[in-house]
Structure 1
Amino acid sequence: MESLTHDHGSASAKSSRRVKTGRRLTTAALTVSLLAGAAAISAPEASAAPRAQSTCHKQNFYNWIETNGARLRTGPSSSYKSRGLLYNGDRMKFSRSCGRWLYGKVLSSTTGLKGYGWVRDDMLYNHNG
């Protein structure tokens, strides 16, 4: 009789451990789900970049900056860092456009700025804006 009581207690303990393990797994799954949902809500919209990419086109033309203090940016929007300033008469060769933003190489700059970057099209002579 004593062994039956012992077996019954053992089965009860196993059942209790299964319930606790099940609760822990449920709690962990719920926590992961909530954290993933919070991350998705607080993350910037992932589709913004691909939309900008889908409107990009190859270009091949030269043009001059028509304004003073046009920012040469690291990407096609004002939210990207400025690499420096371009001034009236500075010249660029453009190879790509994304919406109203043009990507190209600085050919001549009054400040000595060199390299590649993005400029908004309304900063150029005869822009289409």
Structure 2
Amino acid sequence: MRKSLHRASTVALSLALVSGTAAALAPTASAATSSTCTYNITDYGATVDGNGVNYRNGPGTTYYSKGLLYTGDRLKVICGKGNWYYSQLTRRSKSHLASGTHGWIRKDMLATLAG
């Protein structure tokens, strides 16, 4: 009985892997990182100027939002692409995104950018 239960769970896991269920755990090929940047901005501090600003997974409105940022949330800007900056939250956001979270924000949504 015990051996057949083990075999059944092994078969179920194998089927899940083959059917692609485990693929959802892997990062997508379109997931943006700092390697998407076309220019560098070395460790500049910035403050968000706007309420309900999307903090995105990539440099554009077609990328999903990780959450919202609000006036006064602080970021460290790392690099950019076009009108978008790749950044890292320097402390927990007002919407409770964790400190250290990386994401993309449109540069016109920032009040300050200082080195």
Normalised TM-score (structure 1): 0.54
**2:41 counterpart of 1:59:** yes
SS in 1 for 2:111: coil
Change (3 A) 1:54 1:111: closer
Change (3 A) 1:82 1:54: closer
Contact 2:58 2:103 in 1 (8 A): yes
Which structure features the higher share of strand residues? 2
**2:93 counterpart of 1:113:** no
| Structure-2 separation of matches of 1:72 and 1:123 | 10
Which amino acid is 1:99 matched to?
G
Q: Which consecutive unaligned segments of at least 5 residues does structure 2 have?
A: 1-34
Q: Whose Rg is larger?
A: 1
Change (3 A) 1:59 1:124: same
Extract structure 1 runs of 4+ deviating beyond 4 A: none
CA apart distance, 1:110? 1.1
Q: Deviations over 1:82-112 (max 9, x none)?
A: 0000000000001011000000101131122
Which structure features the higher share of helix residues? 1
SS in 2 for 1:125: strand
- Report the RMSD for the aligned CA atoms in angstroms: 1.9
| Structure-2 separation of matches of 1:91 and 1:67 | 12
| Structure-2 separation of matches of 1:57 and 1:67 | 24
Which amino acid is 1:92 matched to?
L
Change (3 A) 1:94 1:112: same
Q: Which consecutive unaligned segments of at least 5 residues does structure 1 have?
A: 1-52
Name the counterpart of 1:3: none
Change (3 A) 1:84 1:99: same
